[in-house]
Structure 1
Amino acid sequence: MDEIQKTLLEQVAGLHEMPAGAYNIRANGQSVERSTTAHIDIVTKEDKQGIDIIIKPGTKKESVHIPVVLSQSGLTEMVYNDFYVGDDCDVIIVAGCGIHNGGDSDSRHDGLHSFYIGKNSHVKYVEKHYGSGDGSGSRIMNPKTMVEVGENSFMEMETVQIKGVDSTKRFTGAKLADGARIVVTEKLMTHGSQVAETSFQVDLDGKGSSANIISRSVAKDDSRQVFYSKINGNNRCTGHSECDGIIMDRAHISAIPEITAANLDAELIHEAAIGKIAGEQITKLMTLGLTEAEAEAQIVNGFLK
């Protein structure tokens, strides 16, 4: 891998070197590094681009890294990754995509990640998106994530996009069985003329299932954001959706939450708030010696933590 690809890898997966545990690193449309363990196997699909990640029942305290980096301008790809997580597992999965575009043609990565999680398991999934390069070609990422959470299992999702992605459409869908839980935390920042659309749909099918969807976003310059969330309570369950946005300059943010109860014992809540940075916050920090720009940056960084 060249230096640009290594920098992208560090940004999206926090890797300075090859990680311990299982991993598959994809660069410019090809798998370049792979490692498996006694409990985690990674198999190349035969019918389309992508891999199957098979995590055996009882696997605990192990990790899987599957980052993608693109440094070739004009490259477009679609990748399908399926995760099969057995019963009684406790694992961390780190994904993410970094695109460096120094040319005039658009670079694009689309991916479909499907999770099939067994019973009594805990999966933490981290996905980061990052763009760099001074070319006029766009950096485009359209991730789709589908999750089936088995009985009494818990799925944590952290999605982060704070720099360099010109256009993104993210869709996350989840179906939860009895006693299953999902918590999704999104952190998003757009600037320039970037466009970001995020959609969540959760079907709380199981008795005692629960979902908590939290989005924190900042829109600067002329960028545009749209946030959709839909929670369907189809059994005795609890669901909560929250979207907080900071709007700056000439940006646009739309938050469109929806909750639907189809059971007498479904308890669903949605919240949405969009506003500018309060002037007194800026003033207070400036009295401590910060410039207005530094104060603004501090507030934004704290909001997205």
Structure 2
Amino acid sequence: MKKIDIKDFGMLNKIADLYELPKEGAFNIRLNSQSAARQNSKNVEIISKTDKSGIDIKVKSNTKGEKIHIPVVINESGIEEVVYNDFYIGDNCDIEIVAGCGIHNDGCNTSRHDGVHAFHIGKNSKVSYTEKHYADGENTGKKIMNPETVVNVGENSECIMEMIQIGGLDSTFRNTVASLKDGAKLVITERLMTDNDQRADSDMTVNLDGFDSSAQIISRSVGKGNSVQVFKPNAIGNNACKAHIQCDSIIMDKAKISSVPEITANHPDAMLIHEAAIGRINNDQLLKLMTLGIAEEDAQDVIIQGFLK
């Protein structure tokens, strides 16, 4: 196993709020394409895949209050990997999963992590999932992530997902596909900031197949510099269901932002709503902060951080 040093914990703190290895709960720390630390618990088993890179995370039915960490760190230039993680979550569970990936690339070669996550959630369960992406590095090596997420939410279960891109990634393409059964609920919040010549694309499709299923998709983004953002969420109502898509973006400098929310109703009792707004920072808010003695650039940062929270 790779050894985790203090610099690695600095990155783990950014993406997973870890200052040290968790003393309780299951975890798997992936460092430079290898498992650097792993721990199972009474109710959660993490197993390495034998046919490809990645892990299976198996959560027993009736598991409550368990927190699972599965972060990834790449700190060597030139590492490019595709990793497959499958979550099998039983019935009547209430758990929290903390993922995320951090890339530090001071070299000239591209570093890339493509994480493919599949969630299989049983009945009457609640799953909270947080995924933070961040990259840094001073040289010309590109930092790239292309996450793919498949979510199957069982009957009367709830899945709450927060997907955050803190900054530093040159390119990212996110693809998310979800399917909801009877009474299932899905809430996805995506927070994104791009700068310089960075590009971020996000495609999201939610299939509301079950009776009385519901989905809420929230996107909040800030585009700076010459960066480009493209967000394409789609809610498809195949039964009596409810869905709401809300996309809000702040555009600055010479950035380009495209928000294309789509709703498709294949059932007369599907109630689907989408909203989208793109605009500059509110001048009144900016002036109010500046009258308090805050410099313009600092005032902009305060507004941006508040907007992304």
Q: With structure 2 as the length reference, what TM-score do the two structures score?
A: 0.98
Instruction: Give the aligned CA root-mean-square deviation in angstroms.
Output: 0.6
Q: How far off its partner does 1:268 sit?
A: 0.1
Quote the residue 1:63 is aligned against.
67
1: distance between equivalents of 2:112 and 2:202?
17
Runs of 4+ in 1 over 6 A off after TM superposition: none
Secondary structure at 2:202's aligned position in 1? strand
Partner residue of 1:171 out of 168, 175, 191: 175
Native 8 Å contact 1:4 1:100 kept in 2: no
Between the aligned partners of 1:232 and 1:76, the Cα distance in structure 2 is: 34
Aligned 1:37-116 pairs, distance under 5 A: 37-116=41-120
Say if 2:192 is the partner of 1:188. Answer: yes
Unaligned runs of 5+ in 1: none
Residue 12, structure 1, aligned to residue 15, structure 2: yes
2:245 to 232, 241, 265: 241
Distance 1:150 1:214 in 2: 22
Counterparts of 2:6 and 2:173 in 1: how far apart (Å)?
Answer: 28
SS in 1 for 2:302: helix
Return the offset for 1:278.
2.1
How far off its partner does 1:132 sit? 1.1
Q: Distance in 2 between matches of 1:179 and 1:280?
A: 43
User: Could you tell me which of 151, 154, 177 is aligned with 2:158?
Assistant: 154
SS at match of 1:293: helix
Q: 1:78-97: CA deviations, max 9, x gaps?
A: 00000000000000001000
- Identical-residue share of aligned pairs (%): 56
Q: Partners in 1 of 2:38 and 2:292 — Cα distance?
A: 50
Aligned length: 305
Distance 1:280 1:217 in 2: 20
Q: How far, CA to CA, are the matches of 2:50 and 2:166 in structure 1? A: 34
Q: Secondary structure at the match of 2:284?
A: helix
The 5 A counterparts of 1:194-233 are: 194-233=198-237
Secondary structure (helix, strand or coil) at the match of 1:120 reads coil
Question: Is the partner of 2:147 in helix, strand or coil?
Answer: strand
Deviations 1:245-282 (A, max 9, x none): 00000000000111000000000000000000122221
Deviation of the 1:2 alpha carbon: 2.6
Partner amino acid, structure 2, of 1:80: Y
Question: What letter matches 2:11 in structure 1?
Answer: L
2:301 alignment partner in structure 1: 297
Deviation, structure 1 residue 25: 0.3
Give the counterpart letter for 2:224 in structure 1: K
Report the 3-state secondary structure (helix = DSSP H, G, I; strand = E; otherwise coil) of the residue aligned with 1:162.
strand
Map of 1:135 onto structure 2: 139
In structure 2, list runs of 5 or more residues that go unmatched. Answer: none
